[in-house]
Amino acid sequence: MLAEREPVRIACLISGGGTNLQALLDAQASGALVSGHIALVISDREEAYGLVRAEKSGCKAFAIPRKLHTRDAFEDQLLHALQRERIELIVLAGFLQILSERVIQAYPGRIINVHPSLIPSFCGEGYYGLRVHEAALARGVKITGATVHIVNEIPDGGPILLQKAVDVFACDTPETLQRRVMEQAEWILLPQAAELVSSRLLKGEPTLVYPYTEEKHG
């Protein structure tokens, strides 16, 4: 009889408070995330509260301060840590750095990100945090949401895994809309996507199960 394979080893990359990380940790504790296990948390900021969340959960966590490193030096340390910990899947959980092609090619189809809009709306370079919700309110949309996608070389341009819509109210501020999108979409979708991709990796399946052709726009 073949030995049962251990869960996929997941690394979460964070930059701030770690609320999306907490959703993943809670899913792991409740049994909603079983095909993968959070083995490592790395922050690009030493002061990120997400590191405290990780340590409280017993997860190995540390910072590689981006402000103290060039991009190449930062990514050298990042890749070394990922390889040392035998990471198989990377989850960007509120990580504000754009990864280079070198990192993406080291983990093809194995990096996922949550973005606080219904891609292709309000996404791409410069759209992060409250800026996304400010743009949505300025445009007057009635529905927004969140998207989990596979990361490629185009910011927020990779194939979509999951999306969930959230209503926009006339009384919303960027802050209230941000909170609702997190509670009703991000914190639900990201654990689901981590389980989905981990399950596929355990089975030796591709992380995407439908054909995807990346169009080039020149």
What is the distance between the alpha carbons of residues 218 and 205, in angstroms, rounded to a whole number? 32
Question: What is the end-to-end Cα distance of the chain in Å, rounded?
Answer: 53
**Is residue 115 annotated as part of the catalytic site, yes or no?**
yes
What is the distance between the alpha carbons of residues 118 and 3, in angstroms, rounded to a whole number? 41
| Contact assessment for residue 53 and residue 44, using Cβ atoms and an 8 Å cutoff | no
CA count, 13 A, side-chain hemisphere, 1 = 3
| Contact assessment for residue 43 and residue 14, using Cβ atoms and an 8 Å cutoff | yes
Helix (H) or strand (E) holding 91: strand 89-92
Catalytic residue among 37, 80, 115, 149: 115
What is the sign, positive or negative, of the torsion defined by CA atoms of 28, 33, 34, 38? negative
Catalytic residues: 115
